Amino acid sequence: MTPYYLLLLGLFILLLGGKLLVDGASSIALKLGMSTGLIGLTVVAFGTSAPELLVSLNAALKGNSDISIGNVVGSNIANIGLVLGLSGIFYPILIRKENIRFDYSVMILVSIVFYLLSLDNKISLWDGIILFGGFILFNGYLFRNLGVGLTGETRLVEEEIEQVKNYGWLISLALFFGGVIGLYFGSELLVENAVLISKEFGVSERVIGITIIAIGTSLPELITSIIAALSKRTDLALGNIIGSNIMNILSIIGITAIVRPIGVSEAFIQSDYLWMLGISILLFPLMRSKMRISKVEGSILFLAYLSYLYFLL
């Protein structure tokens, strides 16, 4: 099989593994008596980020730092430009004041800290500890204020939990460990074949990581947000995207750097990080204009993403 088929197979196994992990872990959590809100903020939030985490960890351990960074930076750009842009085109997304005051402010702060920590061309062990410490503080705040900030995401994952079947212990454990195995082998296939393809075409691992892998691992957010928009649960679409961007930096980069420091090439600092910050800042006036992201604002975000791909490629 060619590297292209193996890469797609790896992506499929990775996403399937994440789904099995969430289903199995959610069923186990229900049996242990956890509330839906708590399961949503822990099990589901971690499970939906597991594909990105395994890819970044695997790439870092193999010495492919550009894929580790590109996966997260590319996903954050795609989440706003591609996912939010397309969601707004499908159906206007209403903006709540909480989205701007808390969710958006935290996302911008975390993105700036991530940029500043990368200026020495690496995310060190201590940088990882700082980011993961932020992840713990952020989730601690959410636990204490379940009704404040990211309420769209909380309600979304609660609805997802309500649809999860309460399997028997044997099936729950089988799903959980099957998901873990799927995540491992899926990330192996994805990273190894992404490197082969980058060498074959003579493009950098940074470009592969920030496009193919980033878009692939953002598929769950894309599907979830478009469904939320079509179902007219538009606050869920925005909360899902902003929450994902925050978690990508704090948890995925934080955990990966703690396991193994990540090198950051100058190209990321001079280009991709600035695009990530730029498209995040662009989101603010579009949200504030009429307190919604309609077809016009969605089209602007989507065109911004296409422009990024044009300059990148």
Chain segment 8-63, per-residue pLDDT in tens: 898 888 888 878 887 888 788 778 776 655 665 566 666 667 778 888 998 999 88
- pLDDT at residue 115 above 90? yes
% of the chain surpassing 90 pLDDT:
35
Across the chain, what does the average pLDDT equal?
83
DSSP string, 124-171: -HHHHHHHHHHHHHHHHHHHHTTTSSSHHHHHHHHHHHHTS----HHH
- pLDDT at residue 262 above 90? yes
- pLDDT at residue 158 above 60? no
- pLDDT at residue 120 above 90? yes
The pLDDT of residue 192 is 85
The pLDDT of residue 164 is 53
**Matching residue, tokens 């420091």:** 261
pLDDT (mean) for 145-155 = 50
Over residues 176-202, the pLDDT tens digits come to: 899 888 888 888 888 888 888 887 888
- pLDDT at residue 97 above 70? yes
Please say whether the beta carbons of 73 and 203 come within 8 A: no
Distance of CA 311 to the CA centre of its chain: 23
The residue that leads in pLDDT, 93 or 128, is 128
